[in-house]
Amino acid sequence: MDTPNIRRLQQNLAEYKAEETGAYATIERSNRAGVLIPLVFDTQTDAVHVVLTRRASLLRTHGGEVSLPGGRMEPHDADVTCTALREAHEEIGLDPARAAVLSVHKPAASLHGVLVTPVAASIATPLLYSVQSQTSHSSLTARVIASLSINTLEVESVFTLPLLTFLKNEHHTCKRIFDDSGNLKWMAHSFNCVDEFGREYLVWGLTAHILVRFAVIAYKGFYDSEFDIIPDELRPGVKKPNL
Q: What is the mean pLDDT of each run of 10 residues along the chain (243 residues)?
A: 93 91 76 96 94 84 84 95 98 95 93 91 68 66 91 94 97 92 91 96 95 98 94 68 43
The angle formed by the CA atoms of residues 75, 80 and 86, to the nearest 5 degrees, is 75
Dist CA 37 CA 120 (whole Å): 5
Q: What is the pLDDT of residue 130?
A: 58
pLDDT of residue 232: 80
CA distance to 33, 83, 102, per residue, from 14 (Å): 22, 20, 6
Residue 133 has a pLDDT of 54
List, in order of start, the domains of the chain with CATH numbers. 4-234 (3.90.79.10)
CA 39 to each of CA 20, 21, 36, 102, 233: distance values in angstroms, whole numbers, following the listed order: 25, 27, 9, 10, 28
Residue type present at position 90: E
- Helix residue spans in 123-179 (DSSP H): 125-132, 140-147
User: What is the pTM (predicted TM-score) of this model?
Assistant: 0.91
Sign of CA dihedral 48, 142, 1, 16: positive
How far is CA 114 from each of CA 13, 28, 111, 126, 194, rounded to the nearest angstrom?
25, 9, 7, 34, 29
Give the separation between CA 89 and CA 40, rounded to whole angstroms: 16
Residue 22: what pLDDT?
A: 64
pLDDT at site 240: 41
The pLDDT of residue 131: 57
What single letter denotes the amino acid at residue 173?
T
| Cα–Cα distance for residue pair 74/51, rounded to 1 Å | 23
Q: What are the angstrom distances between the C-alpha of 202 and each of 119, 152, 156, 217, 225?
A: 22, 20, 14, 22, 19
- Phi and psi at residue 236, to the nearest 5°: -65, 145
Q: Which residues sit opposite 42 in a β-bridge?
A: 47
Kindly give, in sequence order, each residue whose CB lies less than 8 Å from that of residue 178, ignoring residues fewer than 6 positions away: 184, 185
